[in-house]
Each structure stands twice: as structure tokens, then as C-alpha cells.
Amino acid sequence: MSQPVRFETRGPKSLLFTRGLLLVVLAQFLAHVLSLSPGVTPSDGPEIATAIVTLGVIHPTGYPLFTLVAHVFTWLPIPIQPVVKIELMNACFVGGSSVLIALIVRSIALRLQGLWPSANPSLARLWPRRTSDERPPPAHTRTTRERSRDTWEADIAGILGGFMLGVSPLLWKYMRIPEVYAMHVFLVTWALYYWTRFELCRRPAYVLWAAVPMGIGLAHHVTMVYMLPAAGLYLLARRPYQLVAWFLFPVVFVARRLGAPRLMSGTDFRAWWIVWLGCIIGALPLLSYGYFLWAHKTTDGVSWGGITDWNNLYRHMTGRQYQAYMKGWEYADFGKRIAGIPNYFDKQFLAGTALMWGLGVVLAFKRLWPYAAFIALYSVLNLYHGAQYSVGDFYTYYLPAAVTSSMAIGIGLWWSARYLCYRPEGRTLQAWGIASAALMVLVAGALYYYEHIATPRPRHLPAFTDAALVAPLLAASLLALLIPGVLRYRRLTRKPDRKRARKPAAPARYRGLSLCMLAAVGAIFATVGVARSVQFRGTAVRGEAYARSVVRSIPAGGVYLTIGDGKIFPMWYLQHVLNEGREIAVVDGRMIQQTWYRNGHLKSHHPASCDPLAPRFRDDLTRFFLECGTYRQRLDAYSDEKRTWLKLDTGSTRSGRRTKRTVPLDHKINDGGDPKCQEAAYRRTHRKPCACWDYNTHKRQWDHQCVYTTEERAIVRLHPRETYAHRVIEDHIDERPVYERNVFTRNERKTKNVRGWDRAAFRRISGQYHLINRGRANQIVYWDEVRGIDPCGGGSLATLPQPVLQKPTPKPILAPLRRPYKTNERPQLMSHSLLTPQHKGNGDDERFTFEPGADVHLSMTWFERNVYNSKRKNRRGAHVLYGVRVCFFDPAGRKIHTESVRTTGKVGRVRLPSEETVMSGTYTVQACTVGEVGRTKGQPVTRKARVPDHLPCLYPLLEYEFNVRAPDL
């Protein structure tokens, strides 16, 4: 009996590759670990970490597998925050991705080099037939040891390809925070590894193995779906039999049993089940989405979407909430994003690697075109998704393309090394010249790009770059090409010397040049890796420091009103994971319109029986923490309670009943002033632009939408978030402290700004209110209570009056009884402030306790810096130039320092000298405005321009305390 033929499926082993890859990945992992964020950042990371720790539900598409795997990592017995443990998991995923890319690049290079074993001929046929002459591929003429000596270029190129992906700044940026993209990249590289094995070996089993990471990827990140059509077309080109055998074989089987025994008798139907079994394997991980139903019932954290049934589950897992951001070809910025893709490539892999990328792509299409087309199609689909997705972090969808680019660069490096390594002896000098010329042209091109195309221009480039650097480099490249050519020509045309006649030299190996090239590339990216590690290590965390500062400023029972992921998510992490700030309510003005958040999350976490300002808790806050200190206690004890101490009115913003005005008004109408708005048919299709079309002629019973604002000097439509924010303020300000951040002090980019500029997203707060800055949050008070107060007018401290709180009522104010919006002539000068020991400290440097004799620096971030001017294209009118006076008071209440600044630039800074902080105790800083100071004729507008001392304060802007004490010994 003949033995079955066995075919090799692996290339030659290499200690250089094994040990080198291990060393590089360990070094890369160390650099990643050193750069991990020590706390949460103002991004999606805090929300993700909160859901992981509390086993909740993350924002769509939910990422159930990532949640469960990361939750296991939070069990690590390491004395670090849970968020850092999740980042450690991400670092492991990136390390695994680097290893897989290295294996892919090495195996492709070995196949192109002829050192990878040929595929089984029975599996390589277009349509499998039953034959008896299946023979193994011809043996290599070289021994195993000789073949292993030829793999070192492929070994190093593979290691460099994996390392380039590992030090990619885009992947690094989202690896060092608790984000989902590191796992997504790992699953992509895992699937590509098995598809590469299938390309090289043609074994159907690798299709099944590839289905595992693809299925997990579909259950993790929805964009893995783009690999399905790419893989389907690849199988159609390489193995069409696999796409039809799964339904053809059952038909043939039945036909043979019904009277056609010889139907397709010569066809080999082995592995006919591969496709449908792969579909089953790939679909099984999708069952993990059922986790949402369990998590919604059990978590005490955030259950995004309030998933209670299968319909909500499907909407969540398909990202229905964000499908409105899919703009397609008509997206206005689509062309700009497509044109900007080379810039992202440059940031990831440096401009010089573009040549290697091109070489790798050409080689792949020349030798393995179906596989190359599969990779290219998958990359293009991801690039298209990112380019037309109208979100701020669209570039994260370029990561799969970065994976495939690192593969192409690695193959290009291998080819370059082989080309320079194997040359006839007489052409060595010419090869050096060509390589040197190419390198100089590349550098010259990069310099020209940075000088004339890139914005902003790098500061380190010298003046007259074209004349000083580009022209000499181009001249030197011509010499590098001419000199070796001339020498070679003279050598070939020289008459032979019979005395020195010898046989022609056989082709020899010259490793010096290729080794230097690969070593140079490795050294460059190693330096880049170290630089990026240092850069990310110094990146400010801000999120956690911001959340702690907010909690410090708001008393128990207060309401904190904010908008935006960067402001609400760090608060969630602080409350749910670090167990701080649970005595205040954080209300997001954007999500307040969503039922799951308003009636589910806020209601269940703040029941009426756990009001910190209730009579039984008001004088004994310790009792509150014993009975309601954790959200689990509130859910278990008051799960049946239907009332909450928060009042969140999101009803209609305008009465349907209207009456004709006896005296018509003559206001300019911005939202409805178009004459077309007089037509009912036009209004039905343009509701928002025509919202206030009848304001001058008709009066509503109550109107919380169309108002007159001082900034536009016209009738405008308030955004629903503005209206709901005013309702929250009105319902709570008489009963409890109310604070805001990023609502009436919110900036947005022009593409998202409803007012059409890149400054204040919403209008000023109603004129009956005023904002007093308390650090990272602004307290909302009545304007009449602080008008005319001059905190810096006297020599001693006079704290601002605090409102007298009334007994809380259970229901919000009825819409007809609400106060109308009042015009506000006062610009909001400040969004937030912080105290640091450094002159230009950031949010991570914020301190509320300083050592005696230390400098104290107050940084005030200006908000309104330009007057809104609808007649200008960018809407930026004149600069808002107000004088701000800052005064410091020592523990005895004496004024010790006063300094004035102008609201110019972005930040205003005031320093309390070290000689004023020698006394231990509680200090107070206050600030007020002296009004508009205007410009000094003939002098530029600078923040250092003197503010007249004789001007009195018009109203206060800022007040809070800080401590000075010696460190505990």
C-alpha cells in the first residue's frame, strides 16, 4: 500500500528571525508600557473603562467581547488603576499584531524568493479532479542549511514590517488609552495571517481558521464586515470551487441516488463543507451580543441604549445611532479627506517609505495578484469608510490600511535588500551609486514637500531650503549616477591586459549595502519609536484631573450640567469606578433627549429617597454615604421607586396656539426671514430654517424656542439643548447649587456649529443668570444677586453671596409658567480656570494645595474672543477686549496681590509671587471685570497692555479657595 504524500507547509526556520523578533517585540512592548496613560483622558476611554469595570454596555456597537476580555484583565493583582490594566491589554494586542505582521511579511518574501515550499498540486488546480499522480513538489537543490543562509533579508524585513506597525502613532495613540482599536487591529492581522497561509499553501483548512478571527472581529468592530466581500472575491479568483461546492455537492449527491451514478464522477468533492462550516464558525461569536440583555439588568454602571429587547439589541449592534454620520459620496469634506490620506501615511511611516510601499505593492500584484487584490480591496473599503464618516475621529478607520501598508513596506524592504545584495561583482559600485542617488532624491523630495506643500512648515527647516539643501542634493544624486557609470564604461572599453587575464567572476553576494540599508531603516524607526514613547509619555491626561476638580467645586446635592463626551465620560469613570462624586448629579445636555439616559440611567441612579439635600441627610452627610453611597445600594433598595430628585423637562419647546399681535414687531428674523418661509409647502420641508417665520406677526401662548439675542441682534431659533439647559437651571436653581461647563461655554468646529463659525456653539445664558467660575466648573447664580459687586475694591476679603435654597419640589415648572429667555448684553469672558505651580502648566498640573513659599499661577481660558458678526464669512467680528482684575487674599482675609490682564489671546495668566505664600492656611482668589478697555492708539493689542487702575469692577467673574501648607512628614 502506497503511503500518502506529505507536503511541507512551512518555510525554513531561522534563529535570527525568532530571536530578533522576540527582542524587538519586547523592546516595543516596554516602550508602550512606559507611555501608557496613568489615568483617563477626555475621550471615549473613560466611558469604555466604566462599562468594562461595571460590566455595562458601551456606546454602539457595544463591543461585548472586548468588554468581557478587558474585564478579566481588570482582575490582575497589580496595584494600578483599572484603566491602566485595560491599556496593558491593548499593549499585548499590539505586540501580537506586530508578530503576525512579521510572520506574514517573512512568509511572502520567502515565497517570492523561492524558499517557501510549493503548494500541494492537487490543491492548486482551478477545479479539483480525482487523479492518481499527485506528486510532491521537486526538492530544492540546496540543503536546508544552505537555504537557511538565504533567509536573513526576509527575516529582517519581516521584523521591520512588524515593528513599523507597532510604532505607528495612530495605533499607539489609541493603544495607550482604553480604546477598542488595538484589539481590532489584532483581529485584522490574525485573519490576514491565515489568508496569507491559504495563499501560500492553498489548504482549505486555513479558510476555516481565518473565519475564527473574522467572526470575532464582526462581534467586536463592525468594519470587519469589509473583509467579507474582499475574501469572497479572492476565493472566486483563486478557488472558485470552494464557493459553489457547498451547494453543488448536495445536488450531485441526490442526483446520484436518484439514477445518475456517474454524474460528475471525476470531480473531487473533498472539503465541500468548508464554506458553510466557516460561516457557522464566523457567526458563532455574534451570539456574544446577547450579553447586552444580561448587562442591562445587572449592571450598576452605564447601560448605553437601555437594551431591553432584541429590537433594541439589533439597533445597538448595527450602530443605528451613528448611521446618520455616514454621508457617502455627497459628504462635503470627502474630497479633502481623500487628498489628506498621504499625509496620514507620512505620519505613520515617514515619507521615505513610500518608495518601499510602492515596490511592495508592485511585487505583490506581479507575483500574487489575487492575494494583492484582496488586500487592496479591503484597504480601500476601510479608507472609504473613514473618509465619508462625518465624525471627529474618522482617521481611526484608516488603521486596517496601516496594517496592510506595513506589509507592503516590509516586502519592499526585502526586495530592495535582495536587489542590492545579489549583483555581479563588476556592478557593485554602480549599485551603490543608484542607491545613494535614490536616497538623495527621496530626501530632496521630502524637503520640497515640507517647504512648499505641507502646512504648517516645520520650524527646524533652514531658510532658502531649495537653494541650501534641495539643489545640492539633486546635483549630488546626478554625480552618484554619473561617476559609477563613467568608471564602469572605462573599465569595459579598456583594452584587455593579457598578463592579468582571468576568468569572468561568478555572481557573488555583497551583503554590506543591503545590511547597511536595513540597519539604517531599523535605526531610524527605533529612534522614532523612542521619540514617540517620550512624546506620548508626556501627553497630558486631563480627564481625571478635570473630574476631580469638578467634584471638589460642587457641593453635595448639586447639579452639574455639561455637554460632550470629553466632559461627561471622565465624570462617569470617577463616579462608577473610583467611587467619588456620587453625591452630585451629572446631567449631559446632549443625551437628556434620549429616554434610556433620562428615565433609565439618571432616574435609577438618583432616586428621590437618596437626595443629599433631604432633611435626614442635610445635616448628616455620613448617613447619606452609609445608605446611598454606592449605586448598587440605590438600585437594590429603591429599584421600585419611580421618582427622582432631578427634574428633567424635555417636552415641547413651543406652544401650538398662536394669536395675531395687535402691534407687529420689526425685528430681523434669522431663522425664518427667507420670503419662501411664507409658503406652507416650503415650511413643511424646511422646519428648522423657517422656525421663527411668524414671530413679528404672531404671538405664541409660550415660546421657548424663538428669542431675540443681543449677539445676532435678531430673532433666532434656540437649539433644543439650549432650551433644555435653561429648563434644568430654572427647575433647580432655587433648590440646590447648579453648575455648568461646556454648555454656555462650549466651542465647536464650524462643521458642527449651528451658528456657522468655530467659536461659541450656543448663545449666551439668559440675562437673568450669571456665571461665576469655580475652577473647572461655573456656578450659575442670579444676575441680580452679584450685579455691581466689586470683590477687589476693598482691602479685605468679601466672599460672594450664596443663594438661600428653598425646599425641593417634586415636579418641574409647567411650560406656560416658565420665564422667557432674556437678552444678555454681558459677554461670557471665561470658560474655566486652574491653579498650577508652573507658569504654563496644563490640566495635569492643577493644584489646590501648595507648599509655603511656592509660586501660584492662575490660568484663565478666555471664551468669547470675538463678537459674532453674521455678515462676515467666518462670522468673526471685532475682538472682545475686556479688562479682568485678579486679587488674592491670605488666610487672614487681607488682600496681598492684585494684577490686571486683558482678554486677548486664548489664556490669561496671573502669578501670585512666592513671597506672598509664606503663611499656611486657606487662600482665596477672586476676579472681576472692569468692562471694555478698547485699544490703545498706535499700539498692538497684547495681553500685557496695561489696564487702568482707576476703573472699578462692574461684576465678579471668579472665586474659589486653595491651601498653602507644609507637606506631611
Residue 898: strand, helix, or coil: strand
CA distance 45 to 83: 8
Note whether 191 and 378 are within 8 A (CB): no
Q: What percent of the chain lies above the pLDDT cut of 90?
A: 54
Q: Is the model's pLDDT at 72 over the cut of 90?
A: yes
Q: Which residue bears the cell 512592548? A: 29
Q: Is the pLDDT of residue 425 over 50?
A: no
Q: Is the dihedral of CA 431, 434, 436, 439 positive or negative?
A: negative
Higher-pLDDT residue of 693, 485: 693
Amino acid at 184: H
DSSP SS3 for 347:
helix
Within 8 A by CB and 6+ apart from 208, the residues are 274, 277, 278, 281
269 three-class SS: coil
Please write the tens of the pLDDT for every residue from 742-781: 999 999 888 788 888 989 999 999 999 999 999 999 999 9
The residue with greater pLDDT, 355 or 23, is 23
CA distances in angstroms from 646 to 328, 560, 561, 765, listed in the order given: 41, 11, 12, 21
pLDDT tens-place string over residues 853-874? 999 999 999 999 999 988 888 8
Partnered with residue 771 across adjacent β-strands are 780
* Nearest residue to 75 (alpha-carbon basis) of 61, 66, 86, 63: 86
Is residue 583 within 8 A of residue 560, CB to CB? The reply is no
Task: Return the bridge partners of 862, or none.
Answer: 830
> In terms of residues, how long is the chain?
969
Predicted confidence band of residue 432 (pLDDT cuts 50, 70, 90): low
Annotate 874-897 with b (16+ C-beta within 10 A) or e (fewer).
ebeeebbebbbbbbbbbeeeebbb
**Cis status, amide bond into 456, omega within 30 of 0:** yes
Task: Report the predicted TM-score, pTM, of the whole model to 2 decimal places.
Answer: 0.87
- DSSP β-ladder status, 559-562 and 585-588: parallel
Distance CA 413, CA 518 (A): 7
Residue with cell 496613560: 37
Nearest to 412 by CA among 368, 354, 350: 354
Name the E strands within 592-744. Answer: 658-660, 698-700, 706-709, 714-717, 738-741
What are the angstrom distances between the C-alpha of 667 and each of 755, 767, 768, 823? 19, 19, 22, 14
Q: Give the C-alpha separation, 755 to 621, whole Å.
A: 44
Q: Are 776 and 550 in contact (CB under 8 A)?
A: yes
Q: Is the pLDDT of residue 10 over 70?
A: no
Determine the Cα–Cα distance for residues 218 and 281; give it in Å rounded to an integer.
12
For the ranges 8-17, 372-381, 535-544, the lowest mean pLDDT is seen at: 8-17
Take residue 858 and report the three cell numbers written for it.
492662575
Residue 884's beta-bridge partner residues? 901, 929
Radius of gyration of the chain (CA): 34
Q: How far apart are CA 483 and CA 480, in angstroms?
A: 6
Between 463 and 518, whose confidence is greater? 518
- Cβ 221 vs Cβ 186: under 8 Å: no
pLDDT of 946 reads 79
DSSP structure class, residue 454? S
Distances (CA, A) of 452 to 351, 438, 440, 458, 479: 15, 21, 18, 11, 26
Return the higher-pLDDT residue of 452 and 139: 452
- Model confidence at 821: pLDDT above 70: yes
Query: Three cell numbers at 294?
Result: 444580561
What pLDDT, on a 0 to 100 scale, did the predictor assign at position 465? Answer: 58
Amino acid at 141: T
* pLDDT value for 478: 79
Which pLDDT belongs to residue 342? 86
Band of pLDDT at residue 426, cut at 50, 70 and 90: very low
DSSP 961: E
SS (H, E, C) 120-189: CHHHHCCCCECCCCCCCCCCCCCCHHHHHHCCHHHHHHHHHHHHHHHCCHHHHHHHCCCCCHHHHHHHHH
Report CA-CA distances (Å) from 315 to 180, 321, 385: 20, 8, 19
Query: E-strand spans in 472-566?
Result: 508-509, 559-562
Gap between the Cα atoms of 910 and 887, Å rounded: 9
| Cα separation, 386 vs 396, whole angstroms | 7
Q: How does pLDDT run across 164-223, given as a tens digit for each residue?
A: 999 998 999 999 999 999 999 999 999 999 999 999 888 888 989 999 999 999 999 989
Distance CA 706, CA 697 (A): 13
| Residue 607 burial (CB count, 10 A) | 21
pLDDT tens profile 656-686: 889 999 999 999 999 998 999 999 999 999 9
**C-alpha cell belonging to residue 552:** 471638589
Burial of 930: CB neighbours in 10 Å, binned 0-12, 13-18, 19+: buried
Please report how many Cα atoms fall inside a 13 Å half-sphere around the Cα of residue 347, on the Cβ side: 14
How far is the C-alpha of 580 from the C-alpha of 573, rounded, in Å? 9
Q: Does pLDDT of 485 surpass 70?
A: no
- Stretch 76-93: mean pLDDT, rounded? 93
Q: Which residue has the cell 453611597?
A: 629
Q: How far apart are CA 792 and CA 51, in angstroms?
A: 46
129 confidence band (pLDDT: 50, 70, 90): low
Mean pLDDT rounded to a whole number for the chain: 85
Highest mean pLDDT among 143-157, 342-356, 467-481, 620-634: 620-634
Name the DSSP letter for residue 947: P
Task: Return the residue matching grid coordinates 551609486.
Answer: 433
Cell 486555513 found at? 206
Per the CB < 8 A criterion, the answer to whether 580 and 574 are in contact is yes
How many CB atoms are located within 10 Å of the residue 512 CB?
12
Cell matching residue 271: 472539503
Do 303 and 296 contact (CB within 8 A), yes or no? yes
Position 350 scores a pLDDT of 77
- Host H or E run for residue 593: none
Q: Are 953 and 930 in contact (CB under 8 A)?
A: yes
- Specify the DSSP class assigned to residue 52: H
* pLDDT given for residue 969 in this prediction: 43
Say what the pLDDT of residue 943 is. 52
Beta-carbon contacts of 555 under 8 Å, excluding residues fewer than 6 positions away, are 584, 737
Which range is least confidently modeled, 260-269, 329-338, 413-422, 524-533?
A: 260-269
Q: Is the pLDDT of residue 572 over 70?
A: yes
Give the mean model confidence (pLDDT) for residues 621-647: 90
Per the CB < 8 A criterion, the answer to whether 867 and 710 are in contact is no
